[in-house]
Amino acid sequence: MINNIWEENKRCLQCKNPACKKGCPVSTPMNEVIGLLKENKIKEAGKLLFENNPLSVITGLICPHEEFCMGHCVLNFKGSPIQTGSIEHYTSDYYLNSVDFKPEINPEKKVGIIGSGPAGLTMAILLARKGYDITIFESHEQIGGVLRYGIPEFRLPKSILDKYHDILIKMGVKIRPNTLVGTVITLDDMFRDGYKAVFVSTGTWKPRKLNIPGESLGHVYYAIDYLRSPSTHYLGKKVCVIGGGNVALDCARTAIRKGAKEVTVYYRKGEADMPSSKVEINYARLDGVNFEFYRSPLEINDKSIKFQNTDNNDEEISYDADSVIISISQGPRSLIADSTRGLKLDRLGLVVIDETGRTTKEGVFASGDVVTGAKTVVEAVASTKVAAKCLDEYVTQKYNLK
């Protein structure tokens, strides 16, 4: 790994106006990072990455770099772009292993964060470094949200999230696992108990239905539920995955790793129209995943599934399947909005905010997938940085705190 990183550093042209930075949603200064690495200043480089993006060790692994930084690298015109993701991950991992974060906490600056996925983790770190007294409310037993329960181990090792757990504890952040806000605890309860602001980052955990016959059968599963605990599902030998995003491919690749003999992804359009990245499609093929395009599901039966050929609307085709995984996006739960007066949702059930992350309820802020629908981790970080700045200004000005 280190030899490859060193060679990549040497290839960087150190552009004065780096296109890679402009192509990144969070404006990662890779030219400056690589410049520091060339001087053997890895801690300084890691600090620069972390302060710009607290989840850089994660985005270095799972970000669609070919769309963002690497896709904008000027070396694309001459050959291959700089492998910025590998550099970002290696440098960030080194930095997190060597630095302790112990800010001085002001108990008057009490903030609640609901959800510990990409947006929640980012907000917690940004505010903790400013001395906020933070409590994270997490509905699962461990932190990470979609990072832990929606991305397979082979793409994002859980040990990285365990490292973030340790960092948060050292920073004085309190974590309440297995706590679903909106059922027993409400936002009103939190404001009553002295929280100056609440940040909502609950993600999208409600699967979208196909609404076709057979969807309630016992061998049919939703992607977000399957990825949460793949080992508890018995899929059989022949698995059908319906959908075309990265989550669908994660399900297919996981199923193969769990022993399925034949896994096929069915998508209603052509390969060029798939929302998943080209890199992930290639990895899926390398793992042995099959693809059938222009297939729209009509009905699920006990041993098969019937599709319509969207290239030929008169043709119906059936495929055998021991199990079916449905992966056609997710939406947010409505528990918090249902229990909170004045918190507005849009027609898709997403939390409505302004350009700074403020919701329609005073003192409540939001960002991430619960606002935008499913997006990339780096996009969640970018929007959360904006919301964190606004939340900090709100608390310090309204309550005259520093």
Tokens 């806000």 sit on residue:
181
pLDDT of residue 141: 97
pTM reported for the whole predicted model: 0.96
Per the DSSP assignment, residues forming a β-bridge with 331 are 206
pLDDT in tens, 43-70: 999 999 999 999 999 999 999 999 999 9
Strands 316-320 and 304-309: antiparallel
Q: Is 357 exposed, middle or buried (0-12, 13-18, 19+ CB in 10 A)?
A: buried
Whole-angstrom Cα distance, residue 228 to residue 297?
24
pLDDT of residue 100: 82
Whole-angstrom Cα distance, residue 311 to residue 214?
24
Strands 132-137 and 238-242: unpaired
Q: Is residue 91 within 8 Å of 42, Cβ to Cβ?
A: yes
pLDDT in tens, 81-105: 999 999 999 999 999 988 888 899 9
Name the CATH code of domain 209-328 (choices 3.40.47.10, 3.40.1260.10, 1.10.8.60, 3.50.50.60). 3.50.50.60
What is the CATH number that goes with domain 106-205+331-398?
3.50.50.60
pLDDT in tens, 322-352: 999 999 999 999 899 999 999 999 999 999 9
| Fold type of domain 2-98 | Fumarate Reductase Iron-sulfur Protein; Chain B, domain 2 (1.10.1060)
What confidence tier does 285 reach under pLDDT thresholds 50, 70, 90?
very high
Tokens 């990339």 sit on residue:
376
Q: Six-digit token pair at 210?
A: 């196909």
pLDDT in tens, 31-40: 999 999 999 9
Whole-angstrom Cα distance, residue 62 to residue 109?
33
Tokens 């990549």 sit on residue:
8
Identical fold at 2-98 and 106-205+331-398? no
- The domain ranges of the chain are 2-98, 106-205+331-398, 209-328
Check residue 57 and give left, alpha or beta (phi > 0: left; psi -120 to 50: alpha).
alpha
Q: Is residue 203 within 8 Å of 369, Cβ to Cβ?
A: yes
Give φ, ψ of 134 to 5 degrees. Answer: -110, 135
Strands 174-176 and 220-222: unpaired
Whole-angstrom Cα distance, residue 276 to residue 64?
10
